[in-house]
Amino acid sequence: MGNKSGLISFFIISSSLYVDAYQNYTVGDSLGWYDLLENPKVDYRNWTAGKNFSLGDFLIFNTDNNHTVIQTYNFTTYKLCDYDNALDNDTIEWSAADPSATAPQPVSVAVPLTKVGMTYFFSSDYDGEQCLNGQRFQINVTYGQGLPPSLRPDDTSPGPVGPQSGDDESVPDTLVPSNFDNPKDTSDDNQDEASGSIPLLAFSNLFGVWLHGLVIVFGFFVLCC
């Protein structure tokens, strides 16, 4: 019974680790990233069904240099299949077509998922014709485990700079106290202070002896009475 419990626990832990691991998804599986005119069997809506996409996952696009890989967070850009007027902060061209190529060359593009929410992909080549012919899909990216350290943006916040940043010879300002005076010989002052402190020290010692004696007498009086 103990062996069976241990085995069940092992499978539960193993399954949890597998579920939590970041995933690599090959877009279209063996059919790759193409439009319906080139491969009538592709169906990216069906391919995305049932999959859970999370931050840190990768989408692998296997295609050729006659197709592009465009990622956008702008639904209008996606709907129009038009990359030309897209904004830099919401659309990325991961792979561009090569119109000068005389023969198709295989291309593989890995795209990380780094933003929560709806994300759209399409090919914009031939004035959006490939996109209009089925080469596009949309997914919802969840937070999952969050981004792994390798995909987190670097901390590029600038450090403190001086008032004359870039000037190697610049030095900080020097604050001079208002009572600043030229150096002088203070030996005479020290002698005066030392001579004046001797009587005071003698008086303190005498007063301490007198007080100590008074305490002893008072204590003896209390004991006797």
* Domains of the chain with bracketed CATH: 20-148 (2.60.40.420)
CA angle 114, 120, 126 (to 5 degrees): 125
In percent, the amount of the chain with pLDDT more than 70 equals 60
Place 108 in a pLDDT band, splitting at 50, 70 and 90. very high
Rounded to whole angstroms, the Cα distance separating 174 from 165 reads 18
| 202 or 49, which is more confident | 49
pLDDT digits (tens, 9 = 90+) for 43-76: 999 999 999 999 999 999 999 999 999 999 999 9
Mean pLDDT of 4-19: 44
pTM over 0.75: no
- Report the pLDDT value the prediction gives residue 87, as an integer from 0 to 100: 82
Rounded to whole angstroms, the Cα distance separating 178 from 194 reads 29
Place 24 in a pLDDT band, splitting at 50, 70 and 90. very high
pLDDT digits (tens, 9 = 90+) for 82-101: 988 888 889 999 999 998 88
Spatial strand order in the sheet of 117-122: 53-54, 136-142, 117-122, 69-72, 91-95
Question: How would you classify the pairing of strands 24-26 and 58-64?
Answer: parallel
